[in-house]
Amino acid sequence: MAQIALPSIDYSVILQLVIVFGAAAVLLIVDLFVATTSKRITALLAFVAAIVALVAGQYGTTGSTLAGAVSYGPMSQLVNIIILAATAVSILLASDALPKQGIERGEAYILMLLASGGMLLLSQGSSVVMLFLGLELLSIALYVLTAIAFPRLSSEEAGLKYLIVGAFGAGFLVFGIALTFGATGYLTLSDIATHIPTSGIERGYFWVGVTMMLIGFGYKVSLVPFHMWTPDVYQGAPTPITAFMSVGSKVAGFVAIVSILQVLGNELMVLRPILIGVSIATMAIGSIVAISQTSIKRMLAYSSISHAGFVMLGVLSGDANGVHAAIFYLAAYTITNLAAFAVVMLLEANDGSDLTIADLAGLWQRHPWLSVVMSLALLSLAGVPPTAGFFAKFLIITAVWQSGLAWLAVAAAVASAIGAFFYVRCMLQMYSGDSESGEQARIPLASMVAIIVVTIAIIVVGLAPWTITSALALAQ
């Protein structure tokens, strides 16, 4: 019997993946020996693992390994930094918020680590199989995390909803992969790119396959019309988990979409009208429906849908400028959203019941610094200088102009103008209205560190955008 030749593995390419998955496996065992009341230790170890992986990214080598299935380059280096930083911050937030809600489970942090491993795989994957693997790893961990507030029904419901919709999306992806493989005969993205069928039934299979793969990821990043799960899941999941999935799976999902679209090369033009329609619908529905929300988490969910439309604008332009703008946007969105959810998390009641926008009234009197952080986050979501969100919006609009779609820039401007209304209304709510002479809840240390880091990041990226653009410039 012929031996199966195993491809050689260059561990320096998959260094971060090895660290994250290794740490998760080890921690699963370690967690058995951590007392239920001190799960903070597991959180701390998971945090350290994320930071170690973040630093290790500097020592990774550029290239591809595992027979071209996984690769590492300047782009994935930057995306991995975003993912791991978001993971680390989310773990810090969760280590305060989960025990507060009575969730003393060490596996939460390990699942977050596993999910971030899935995200890294999506960022580094250069074969469709790896993309599928990454998506599933990420999704399954997130299904469990969503439902982890066990006795609370809304969390159970959200978990189940997420599972069903997610499975649906994964089904699209697998079927799409099968069709693409059937049409081209290859699994690695670079091979698929050079073997796009030019005619015949294979071409039909190929386009159906690519579209289905995009739909699969469209679910993950909540593009319209695959967005229906987003508000319910965001609302039901424990807030630190919402924060984590709102940024992490969005970043990873979009990077996967970028990888798939890059395969198409000039053929992207075929799909462009559809992608434009999707992004306009996503921006419009996200911004318009957000106006009528009373729950902050639901509002942020619709806001995340609207932002997905913006990122899509950069992605669909198909050139380096657009992709860079999209990555910048994702980075800015990540830090901004983490800040917003961190504040929501600290203001929430212990039973995890929903925080409404009306609850923000008079926050300025109760928690001046939290209201400043929340204001910055909301201004950044609205794209007002001097915040990270402003430059993100600016780069997207410039990129859209450069790809010759000026009218689309106007559509983006309209959506951004609609968005400004509810962000600003929400922000000003904190500064007026009567303050209930309320409990001055102390901000726990870990959350404090996390909030300070993301708040500084919002301002720094807003005033010194080269902190991110210089890294993008390498990723030509």
Binding site for another protein (CB under 8 A): 364, 379, 382-386, 390, 393-395, 397-398, 401-402, 406, 409-410, 412-414, 416-417, 420-421, 424-425, 428-429, 431-433, 465-466, 469, 473
User: Using CA atoms in the order 116, 264, 331, 217, what is the torsion angle rounded to 10 degrees?
Assistant: -50
Locate 267 and state its tokens.
Answer: 């053929």
Between 150 and 466, name the residue whose CB sits nearer to another protein: 466
Query: Is the Cβ of residue 148 or residue 379 nearer to another protein in the bound state?
Result: 379
Q: Are 340 and 381 in contact (CB under 8 A)?
A: yes
Check if the beta carbon of residue 275 is closer than 8 Å to that of residue 312.
yes
- Please identify, using beta-carbon distances, which residue of 410 and 456 lies nearer to another protein: 410
- Cis previous bond, 386, omega within 30: yes
Amino acid occupying residue 145:
L
CB 82 within 8 A of CB 331: yes
CB-wise, 78 or 271, nearer to another protein? Answer: 78
**Cβ at position 433, least distance to another protein in Å:** 7
Residue 465: CB minimum distance to another protein, A: 5
CB-hemisphere CA count at 13 Å for 158?
Answer: 26
The CB-of-427 to another protein minimum distance in angstroms stands at: 8
Q: Tell me which DSSP letter residue 14 carries.
A: S
Output the six-digit token pair for 66. 């595992």
Q: How far apart are CA 307 and CA 297, in angstroms?
A: 15
Nearer to another protein by C-beta: 253 or 383? 383
CB of 417 to another protein, least distance (A): 4
CB of 436 to another protein, least distance (A): 17
Tell me the torsion sign for CA atoms 171, 172, 176, 179. Answer: positive
CB contact set of 68 (below 8 Å; sequence gap of 6+): 126, 127, 188, 190, 191
In whole angstroms, how close is the CB of 407 to another protein at the nearest point?
9
Nearest residue (CB) to another protein, 42 versus 375: 375
Place of tokens 């699969």: 216
Whichever of 186 and 394 has its CB closer to another protein, that residue is: 394
Minimum CB–partner distance for residue 458 and another protein (Å): 14
